[in-house]
Structures are given as structure tokens and as C-alpha cells.
Chain A
Amino acid sequence: MTSKTTRMLSYRDAINEALQQEMERNPDITLMGEDIAGAAGRADQGFVDAWGGPFRTTQGLIQQFGEERVRDTPISEAAFIGTAIGAAAAGVRTVAELMYFDFIGVCFDQLLNNAAKMHYMYGGNVTLPFTLLTRIGAGVGSAAQHSETLYSLMAHIPGLKGVVPSDAYTAKGLLTAALRSNDPVIFFEHKLLYHEQCEVPEESYELPIGDARTMREGTDITLVGISKMTSVCLEAAELLAAEGINAEVVDLLSVFPIDYDHIIASIQKTHRMVVVDEDTPTCSVAADIAATVGEEAFDSLDAPIMRVQAPHTPVPYARDLELAYIPDAQRVVKTVREVFGS
């Protein structure tokens, strides 16, 4: 950490601050999305920034930077996300917000066939200073089309990077890094984290995209958490400590690339691993971690690698079903016990 001054800041405010500081630093940055300001075109009637974004992450930006740089869009994800990619290709750093990641279907082509491939298929001719802000996660009763965690879908595509901040500190640092990256980066916000607070430096700082971090040192098992699941791992680690199991918790922070070195270094110490991932299990980031660790660190393992994930189903609406869907500390503890053969 480079800064001296820190204070408690929420995840939401950390995102807002990273945007604000980078937009100040780089006058190119243009932001677009649905209701990211709100009441578009009604400044003359006294309505400005009516929403500040559906989750208030972009609040205040239109007042500071104006409507040329902070653009509310019609509901046209394919068009405005494609436009953002095109503007980036033409040299203007552009940030687009996809309100819920579930809506990826509407604009998938722009990410799959343009953002991900342009640099490669044009032989390095084109770079894309482009960031996609979006949000994931169940737990708010929004059912099948507003709750998914499908970052694994994007991790499958060569050419994209994706980060999954788990708290306000990593949100600010990773977003700042994304806003300085010349590769397309998808920034996955978790809906249940917006109000969570932690110490965050006032001045801007970057956290390298692709680095995991260790949240808790341990000797007996490595729990790998992704996004909100990192806090679930920490909760499980506390419960496990009471059972005499000393768990190490690794916060993945980046789902593509994945910091295998960090994970393997941890396993060389603990010899066991459980990956906790809210995404569905088939062809997932967690599956990839398990496979890669199996390939590269088999000799360090004393037990099979296990995963705690959502079931292979859409997200249900009713509260009890939704709670059963989302991995929780109890399920992690149960799985760890299985790893230890009890």
C-alpha cells in the first residue's frame, strides 16, 4: 500500500472514487450505460443525476464531468457496448456498464467477436482501452435473469481479462488498474458487497490484474474464494478453527488470468484445497483451478481437490431455494470435513 491516508469506505463508494479519480487524471475516459446518471436530457428542468446508476456507483460523475463524458444510453446493449469498443479502438478510453451480467446475451457478440479478438486477429494493430463494468451474484431475490455469476463464460474466451473484487480496497485498486489497461477488462461487481466497508487509501493506486492475495494464513487446507465467496471462506475458516483445522484463505481477485502460482504455493504448504465459487460448476473457473492444480501440484496434494459451487441450475426466486443455491460457510465446512475424511 503506497498511500498514508486511509479511511473506511464502502465497496460502492470505492468504485465511484476509482472512476472519479481516473476520469480526472485522464480526460479521455468516457462512460456509458443505462441510467448511470438518470433523467437524461432533463437538466433544463432541474433533473440531473436522478439515479447515479442503478446501484449508485456512478453518482456525481455527470455533475463533475458533464454529459459529453458521462452518457446515459437507450436500452441497446449491443449498440452501446459495441460503440464503446469502437471508441476504444479509435483511441478514446471508454467504459461501458452492463447493468446485470445476465444481460450478456444481448451484447455477447461485441465481446466475443470484437473486444476479445481484435488485438490478435488484426496482428496487434488495434488495442482496446476498454472496460466493461457489470454485476453478478444471487441473494437479492431477483430470480433467474438478474442473479447469475457467469464469469466462467467469459474466462473461456481468449483475449479478455476479468477481475472480481471482494472488498472496497480491491475494488478501487483493480478498477484503477482496469482503467489504465490497454486490454479489455471486465470488472465484476458483486451485488451483496456494495455496503461492505473497509480501509481504503484516499489517493489512487493500482492492484495488478492477475494477482491473488492471501487473506488468512493457515497450515491445513487452502480455501480459494472468488468475489463474495472470499468472505464465505473466511467465515468457514473461523468455524473450522474451532474444530482444530487451520485454513488458509486465498482471494482469487482475477478470474482470467488466474494466479495459479499463488494457489500452488499455498497448497505446497497446506496440501489440501477447496475452491468456493458461486458460479455453476460445469466448465467453471473453479473446475479450471482444480484441473490445473491437479496437473501441476499433484505431488503436493494429500487429498482430492473439492469444489463448493452453485448447482447446475438457474437461480430460483423463493428465499429458501435461493439460500440453498448460494454456497455458504456450512457447506464449505461440510466439504472440508469430507476432505479430511470425517
Chain B
Amino acid sequence: MEITHEALLKMFETMVTIRQFELRAFAEVGQRSLRGAIHLSVGQEAVPTGICAHLTDDDYLASTHRGHGHCIAKGVDVQGMMAEILQKSTGTNKGKGGSMHIADISKGMLGANGVVGSSVPLAVGAALAAKRRSTDQVAIAFFGDGAVNQGVVHESMNLAAIWKLPVIFACENNHYAESTPVEYATPIANIAERAKGYNMPGVVVDGMDAFAVYDAAGTAIGRARAGLGPTLLECKTYRYYGHAAFDNPKSYRSTEEEDEWKARDAIMKFRERVLEEGTLSQAEMDETEAKVTEQMDEAVRFSDESPAPGLSELLTDVYVDAPKGSLGRSSHLFT
């Protein structure tokens, strides 16, 4: 598939932003000794980048606990994301959600979700909304190799298939669910095979190759926009860090395996390819990286200058319309 120069540079920027953002957020959280899990997707950048390159703000995305990459690729503001993780009122969720729950509906980002598999039907629902409105919007359901064993994921695929909804089931197979290897949890070589049961295309993609992801996603999204229904896209990839950043993955996988995947690093391979093809220059990419680093500094500065959420925020947003007593009889104790 043809990619414009502008789109190519954007893809590079997206991947670099995801990586820098996550490493920076992780470091800042550590420095401040903030509590809470932070799941890094470093290593998996090509997947959301290749898929979301086909999307506009009008399209939808539902995400997982490992959602920073999805948010960034979908265009969510990194300042708001950083402020959210650093527990500030200027965060995307006013500091109420944190890393695992970043949402920005203005960008079509329906939210990261901490319950494995739980967000998949939400993307199906967004696709239904698009169909009801007769637009050509699509929805992406991101989920992991672990999530494919949840009933709701299967129920969602079936529903989307019978109703021919414009949704892409984007499985990020990073080969582990916490410490559980995919080959233990799943008795088939390719998760994409499961599409057969729902009579939809099931496609295996090299998730370390942004171009391959871009091509496969283009076909799937094209089908969805044309009213031909869902696709299951299995992107084979790898997370470089532990499940929730702090834990050591060496207790369940070998250094050789890690090195094999890192030798195919998505950003490195992208860089090599565009240089070889002469489609992006070294200078352009260096400039982009430097710009992204500046943006990260700015995001941290913005967060540091932002106030923490006021205590009254504890009781807001529970309901849109909160009649008397709806927050419990003792709510006065909390303000």
C-alpha cells in the first residue's frame, strides 16, 4: 500500500512518541514513588501505529490495561496522558483513572480498561453506533493473546459477524499473559484461526513490522468501511519489559528469546527500511526524535505545574444527574 511522505513521517513519530512516553512516564512515576500499576507496551509500537494510521478522530478505539500506545496512536494529547498518570487534575480523566483507564472521547478513544476482554464489546457497540448513524466510521478493539480466552471476546466476534459491523478485532499477541505463555493458554498456533468460527477473515501479521501492519489493517478497515463486516487481525509482537514494568520477565522467558525479538525492533527496522528506500532522511527522523523528547519534557513540566485534583472530585462524575442522596447519606463527610 502506498504511504505518503507525510504519513510515513507521522508513523515514525507515533512509534517514537509511544516509546519515549512510556519510558518517561515510568521513570517519573518511579521518581515520585507513585502507587499503581503501569503496563508498558515498549516493543509493540508498530501495532497501534500501523492500524491507527488509517483512522481519523471520528473512528473509535477501545483499549486494554496496556493502552498508552493505543491512546497516542489515536491522537490523545500526551500532556493530558502524562498529567493523568502523575495524578493531576489536568489529566485526561482528572486524575481519577490513571494509566490503566485513559480515555478521550473527543479523539474516539473510548477508554483503556483494566478487566481483560471487557472492552472488546464496547468497540462492537461503537461500530453499531456507526452503523445506526450510517457513517463509514470504524471501531478497533484492541486485546491481548490472553484476552482471547474470555467468553465475551468470542461472543463479541459472533455478534459483530452476524450484524456485519465495522469493527476490527486487533489482537496484540505479545506471547504472554502476565507470566503465562500463549502456547500454554491456547491450543492453536495462530489466534487468527479463531476467525473461522465466525466466518470472518482471520489474518496473521508481523507486528514488529509497521508496514505489514499498515497493509493488513488497510484491507480490514477498507472492508469494514465498505460494509463487509469485521476482521480478526492477529499481530505477533513482544513486550520488552515485565507485565507491569516492575516485575522481572526472566522468570518465565529466556534472554535468547528476548534478544531475538529485540533484534527485530520495530523502530529500528522501520528506520532501516525508510533509509534504504530513501523515503525518509536521517535528518528528518533525528529532528522528529528531538521534537518528541521536547514534547515529553513539556508534558512533565505541564504535569508538575498542574494542581492535584481537589477532594471534592471524589464525589463528582458518579452520575450526570445526581439527585439528593444519590451519593449516600454520609457524603457530607467527604467534602
Contact = CB atoms under 8 A, between A and B. Distances in A.
Interface of A: 34-35, 38-42, 45, 47, 50-51, 54, 72, 74-79, 102-103, 105-106, 140-146, 280-282, 307-309, 311-314, 316-321, 324-325, 331, 334-335
Interface in B301-328: 308-309, 311, 313-315, 318, 326-328
Listed residue (B87, B311, B329, B331) with the most chain A CB atoms within 10 angstroms of its CB: B87
Contacts of A317: 36, 87, 93, 95-98, 101
Given A40-B181, A74-B185, A319-B35, 6 more contacts: A141-B36, A143-B100, A312-B327, A316-B95, A316-B96, A317-B87
Interface of A: prevailing SS: loop
A164 B35 CA distance: 24
Nearest to A331: B333
A319 B328 CA distance: 22
Contacts of A54: 178
Interface string B99-113: 011000000000001
B8 interface: no
10 contacts: A34-B177, A38-B252, A40-B184, A72-B184, A74-B177, A75-B185, A141-B36, A281-B328, A317-B96, A317-B101
Given A74-B149, A312-B318, A105 B184 contact: no
Contacts of B97: 143-144, 317
B1 to A, nearest CB: 34
Given A75-B177, A78-B151, A313-B327, A143 B318 contact: no
B254 to A, nearest CB: 7
B78 interface: no
Given A141-B98, A319-B87, A45 B254 contact: yes
Interface in B102-135: 113-118
B56 interface: no
A307 B315 CA distance: 18
Q: Please give me the 9 A-B residue pairs with the lowest Cβ-Cβ distance, nearest first.
A: A141-B35, A141-B36, A312-B328, A317-B98, A39-B252, A145-B114, A41-B184, A74-B149, A38-B179
A311 B184 contact: no
Contacts of A335: 333
A194 to B, nearest CB: 15
B178 A51 contact: yes
Listed residue (A35, A50, A308) with the most chain B CB atoms within 10 angstroms of its CB: A50
A143 B98 contact: yes
Contacts of B69: none
A38 B329 CA distance: 45
A311 B332 CA distance: 9
A144 B251 CA distance: 29
Contact of A311 (B178, B186, B252, B314): B314
Contacts of B313: 316, 321
Contact of B252 (A47, A78, A331): A47
Contacts of A281: 328-330
Contacts of A331: 333
B309 to A, nearest CB: 5
Contact of B251 (A47, A76, A282): A47
Nearest to A143: B98
A96 B186 CA distance: 20
Contacts of B308: 318, 320
Listed residue (B35, B88, B179, B330) with the most chain A CB atoms within 10 angstroms of its CB: B179
Given A38-B252, A143-B114, A325-B314, A312 B181 contact: no
Contacts of A313: 314-315, 318, 327
A80 to B, nearest CB: 10
Contact of A307 (B96, B116, B253, B330): B330
Contact of A76 (B101, B115, B151): B151
B251 A50 contact: yes
Interface in B196-222: none
B294 interface: no
Listed residue (A34, A45, A143, A146) with the most chain B CB atoms within 10 angstroms of its CB: A143
A316 B252 contact: no
A39 B87 contact: no
Contacts of B117: 75, 106
B37 interface: yes
A34 B151 CA distance: 16
Contacts of B315: 311, 313
A321 B96 contact: yes
Interface string B159-188: 000000000000000000111110111100
B243 to A, nearest CB: 9
Contacts of A321: 95-96, 309, 311, 313-314
Interface in B20-69: 34-37
A34 B178 contact: yes
Nearest to B93: A317
B146 interface: yes
Contacts of B327: 311-313
A323 to B, nearest CB: 10
